[in-house]
C-alpha cells in the first residue's frame, strides 16, 4: 500500500542589510531545510515568512519596518529576526500580528519560532540524500563569515549592542567550510566579519591542527591557508578580504596578493581622514602613516585595489575637516569609495556631540565627495585601457539580432554588489557564470570597464 506523505511546510525569507546578515539567513534556511521545510520564492506559497532586519541606521530600520509590513499584508504569518530584534517592543507596537521577534544570529531561537508557528510536516529523514547548505548568492561566489560582533566603541555605531563583542570561529572550522565551498563550485570567497583584522583576538589566537600542521586563529594564518585552496580544476580561487582595519599585521598579507594567492583587494573602513573627526568618532587617527603604508603596499603589489567608505557631516565636522578629507583622497587615490551622510542612530554616543551639521551642508559635502572620488575612479580605470585583466563572469546574455552575445563580469578590483562591472562583447555561447577569462580592456567610464576576451 502506498503511503502518501504530507506536503512540506514552506518558509519564505526576506533578507536585508549587509553580507553578514545574508550569511545568517543562509544558516537559518539551511537548518530549516534539514528539519524538513521547503523554501518558498513568494509570499503566497509560504506557511510562514522570515524577515531578517537591518538596524544600523534609521533609514535601514525604516526599510526593515516596511518589509515587515509588506510581509504581513501579503502573508500574515511573519517572524522577525536580525539586528532590529533588540527593538522587539517597538516592532510589536507597530505590528501586533508579528508571531515572534529574535535578535541577530540567534539561529536556534528563529528555528524554534518557525517550529511553533508552522510545525514541520516531514522529518529530516524523509530524504536520505543529504542536502547541500542553502546559498542565497550565485553558485560561483560565497561569503565566508569568520567571526561575529566587534570590540570597537565607535561613537556613531551600535553594532556591539546589536551583535555583541567579538566572537571568532575556530580556524579549522572556517578552513573546512572554505574547502567545502570551493569543492562545491565556489570560485570566489568573500571573507567577512565586523573586523577581519581582529580575527582570533578574543580566543588568544588559539592554534588548531589543519592538515597535519598547526594554524593560528589569526588573519595572516587564515589568509595564507586560504591561498592554498584550489578549485576542482586546479585553479586558485579568488579570496577577497572585507572589513579590514589597517592594523600593522595587515602588511603581511600584501605579499600573498603579489604571489597570486589572494585577490589584490582590501576593503578598509577608513570613515574619515581628519584627525579631529576621527578622534570624535573614537577611531585611530594615523592618516599620515596610512598614506605611507598605501604607497608601500602598491610597491609590493601594484595591482592592489583599495575600497573604503566615508561619513560626511559628522557632528563637529568643519569645512576645514572636510577639505582635509578631500586632500587626503587626492593623495590616497583609492580605487573604490562609498559615502554616507551622518545619521543619528538611537543608542550611539555621537548623537550627544555638539556641532550638528545642517542637512543642506551634508548634501553639499556628499555631492563634492562623490565628484572627487568619481574623478579618481575614472582616471584609475582609464589607465587600464589596453591592458589584459582577469575577469570572473557573473552573467551571460542572450544573442542579439546579429547573433552577438554579451556578458557581465568583474575584475579583481570589483566585489559583487558594491563595486563596478566589466562588460564584455561578443563572447562565446559556451561561456558560463563562474568562468574566469582574460579580458582586453577597450574602454572605461567612471565605474566600469568594457572589453572583449583576449586572443591567445
399 burial (CB, 10 Å; 0-12 / 13-18 / 19+) is exposed
The single residue listed with the C-alpha cell 521577534 is 101
Class of domain 388-453: mainly beta
Angle at 178 between CA 172 and CA 179, to 5 degrees: 90
pLDDT tens-digit map of 161-172? 777 889 999 999
pLDDT of residue 362: 96
Q: Residues 134, 23: contact at Cβ < 8 Å?
A: no
Alpha helices in 191-286 (DSSP H): 219-226, 254-258, 275-281
Q: Residues 382, 375: contact at Cβ < 8 Å?
A: no
Q: Residues 100, 79: contact at Cβ < 8 Å?
A: yes
* CA-closest candidate to residue 322, choices 331, 335, 310: 310
Give the phi and the psi of residue 14 in degrees, each rounded to 5.
-115, 115
Alpha helices in 310-358 (DSSP H): 319-332
CA distance 142 to 18: 14
Q: Any residues with CB less than 8 A from the CB of 2 and at least 6 apart, and which? A: none
Task: List the CATH code of the domain at 141-382.
Answer: 3.80.30.20
pLDDT of residue 122: 58
Domain ranges of the chain: 10-117, 141-382, 388-453
Beta-bridged to residue 305, according to DSSP, are 265
Q: Which one-letter DSSP state was computed for residue 429? A: T
pLDDT of residue 1: 45
How would CATH label the architecture of 10-117?
A: 3-Layer(aba) Sandwich (3.40)
Query: Grid coordinates in use for 244?
Result: 579590514
Provide Rg for the chain, Cα atoms: 23
The one-digit pLDDT tens for each residue of the chain (456 residues) are 444 545 788 999 998 888 878 888 888 888 888 888 888 888 988 999 999 998 777 778 889 999 999 999 999 899 999 888 888 888 999 999 999 998 877 878 888 999 988 888 655 444 444 455 666 778 899 999 999 888 887 887 777 777 788 999 999 999 999 999 999 999 999 999 999 999 999 999 999 999 999 999 999 999 999 999 999 999 999 999 999 998 899 999 999 999 999 999 999 999 999 999 999 998 865 666 889 999 999 999 999 999 999 999 999 999 999 999 999 999 999 999 999 999 888 778 888 888 999 999 999 999 999 999 999 999 999 999 999 999 999 999 998 888 899 999 999 999 998 999 999 999 999 999 999 999 999 999 999 999 999 987
CA distance 67 to 61: 10
The distance from CA 301 to its chain's CA centroid, rounded to whole angstroms, is 24
Q: Residues 15, 29: contact at Cβ < 8 Å?
A: no
* Sign of the four-CA dihedral 198, 201, 202, 203: positive
Alpha helices in 118-267 (DSSP H): 159-163, 171-183, 219-226, 254-258
Give the phi and the psi of residue 307 in degrees, each rounded to 5.
-110, 150
Query: Grid coordinates in use for 4?
Result: 502518501
User: Quick check: do 10-117 and 141-382 share a fold?
Assistant: no
pLDDT tens-digit map of 207-255? 999 999 999 999 999 999 999 999 999 999 999 999 999 889 999 999 9
Query: Grid coordinates in use for 57?
Result: 541606521
* CA-closest candidate to residue 142, choices 307, 25, 268, 19: 19
For 170, 231, 405, the CA distances from 186, given in Å and listed in that order, are 21, 8, 24
Amino acid at each position: 500500500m502506498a503511503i502518501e506523505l504530507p506536503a512540506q511546510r514552506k518558509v519564505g525569507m526576506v533578507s536585508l542589510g549587509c553580507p553578514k546578515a545574508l550569511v545568517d539567513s543562509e544558516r537559518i534556511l539551511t537548518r530549516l531545510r534539514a528539519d524538513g521545510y521547503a523554501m518558498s520564492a513568494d509570499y503566497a506559497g509560504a506557511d510562514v515568512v522570515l524577515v531578517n532586519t537591518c538596524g544600523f541606521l534609521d533609514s535601514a530600520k525604516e526599510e526593515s519596518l516596511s518589509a515587515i509590513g509588506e510581509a504581513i499584508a501579503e502573508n500574515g504569518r511573519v517572524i522577525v529576526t536580525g539586528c532590529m530584534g533588540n527593538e522587539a517592543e517597538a516592532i510589536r507596537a507597530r505590528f501586533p500580528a508579528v508571531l515572534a521577534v529574535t535578535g541577530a544570529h540567534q539561529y536556534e531561537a528563529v528555528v524554534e519560532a518557525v517550529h511553533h508557528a508552522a510545525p514541520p510536516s516531514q522529518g529530516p529523514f524523509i530524504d536520505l540524500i543529504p542536502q547541500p547548505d542553502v546559498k542565497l548568492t550565485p553558485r560561483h561566489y560565497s561569503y565566508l563569515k569568520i567571526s561575529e560582533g566587534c570590540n570597537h566603541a565607535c561613537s556613531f555605531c551600535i553594532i556591539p549592542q546589536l551583535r555583541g563583542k567579538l566572537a571568532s570561529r575556530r580556524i579549522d572550522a572556517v578552513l573546512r567550510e572554505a574547502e567545502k565551498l570551493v569543492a562545491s563550485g565556489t570560485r570566489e570567497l568573500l571573507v567577512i566579519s565586523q573586523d577581519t583584522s581582529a580575527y582570533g583576538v578574543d580566543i588568544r589566537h588559539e592554534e588548531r591542527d589543519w592538515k597535519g600542521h598547526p594554524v593560528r586563529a589569526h588573519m595572516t594564518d587564515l589568509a595564507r591557508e586560504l591561498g592554498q585552496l584550489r578549485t576542482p580544476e586546479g585553479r586558485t580561487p579568488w579570496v577577497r578580504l572585507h572589513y579590514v582595519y589597517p592594523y600593522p599585521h595587515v602588511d603581511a598579507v600584501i605579499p600573498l596578493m603579489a604571489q597570486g594567492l589572494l585577490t589584490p583587494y582590501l576593503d578598509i573602513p577608513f570613515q574619515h581622514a581628519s584627525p579631529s573627526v576621527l578622534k570624535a568618532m573614537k577611531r585611530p587617527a594615523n592618516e599620515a602613516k596610512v598614506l605611507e603604508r598605501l604607497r608601500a603596499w602598491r610597491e609590493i603589489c601594484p595591482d592592489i585595489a583599495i575600497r573604503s567608505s566615508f561619513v560626511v557631516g559628522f557632528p563637529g565636522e568643519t569645512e576645514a575637516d572636510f577639505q582635509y578629507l578631500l586632500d587626503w583622497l587626492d593623495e590616497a587615490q583609492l580605487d573604490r569609495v562609498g559615502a554616507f551622510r551622518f545619521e543619528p542612530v538611537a543608542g550611539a554616543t555621537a548623537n550627544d556631540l555638539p556641532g550638528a551639521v545642517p542637512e543642506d551642508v551634508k548634501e553639499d559635502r556628499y555631492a563634492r565627495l562623490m565628484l572627487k572620488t568619481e574623478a579618481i575612479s575614472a582616471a584609475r580605470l582609464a589607465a587600464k585601457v589596453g591592458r589584459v585583466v582577469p575577469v570572473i563572469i557573473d552573467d551571460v546574455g542572450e544573442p542579439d539580432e546579429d547573433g552577438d552575445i554579451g556578458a557581465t563580469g568583474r575584475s579583481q578590483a570589483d566585489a559583487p554588489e558594491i563595486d563596478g562591472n566589466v562588460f564584455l562583447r561578443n563572447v562565446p555561447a559556451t561561456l558560463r557564470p563562474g568562468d574566469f577569462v582574460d579580458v582586453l580592456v577597450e574602454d572605461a567610464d567612471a565605474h566600469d570597464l568594457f572589453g572583449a576576451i583576449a586572443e591567445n
